[in-house]
Amino acid sequence: MIFQQLSQQLASLKNLIEALDYYQFTQKVEHLGNASIGAHTRHIIELLQCAINGYYSGTVDYINRKRNLDIETNKEVALSVLASLELYYQLPDKKLNLAIDNIADAIEPIVTTTYVREIVYNTEHTIHHLALIKVALVELKLNIVDANFGMAYSTIKYQSTLQNT
């Protein structure tokens, strides 16, 4: 189920990117600290890449990730990378290490996790950034996504119970 939820969120992102022109994708948005929709797209993609890479290396490291600025400035690159991710993230669960930035604490900078737990995290992380992208769409005066874009599944489910009462 969680893979399906992530797939739906990534499809929403893909559809949005396809609907945007270059300027809209790269426009800095004041209410997002001057980040662009492309920058949020890059961030979503790179964290998912970290989870997939961590599956094979044994350690998920979101801190020391590679940042590919082509993803945030070229929507064709972003769409291509999204399409390739769809082929690789549905993997069986297994235990992994998670690197953490732990400068001030005395504990080890590694905690244990599982791959599916990291997919849950990436799904929620994607929803969060889609909600931020929705703020950008409002600022850019683009009414091109549905009301559920960037909304958590639990919120959608809760709101549907309110409509049925």
Q: Kindly state the average pLDDT of the residues 91-99.
A: 96
**Model pTM score:** 0.91
Q: Is the pLDDT of residue 107 over 70?
A: no
Residue 94, C-beta contacts closer than 8 angstroms, at least 6 positions apart = 55, 114, 115
How many other β-carbons are positioned within 10 Å of the β-carbon of residue 92?
A: 7
SS (H, E, C) 34-69: CECHHHHHHHHHHHHHHHHHHHHHCEECCCCCCCCH
Instruction: Please report which helix (H) or strand (E) contains residue 97, including its range.
Output: strand 95-99
Q: Is the pLDDT of residue 165 over 90?
A: no
Q: What is the pLDDT of residue 104?
A: 63
Domain limits, the chain: 2-163
Closest CA to 66 of 50, 85, 51: 50
What is the architecture, at CATH level 2, of domain 2-163?
Answer: Up-down Bundle (1.20)
Q: What is the mean pLDDT of the chain?
A: 93
Q: Is the pLDDT of residue 108 over 90?
A: no
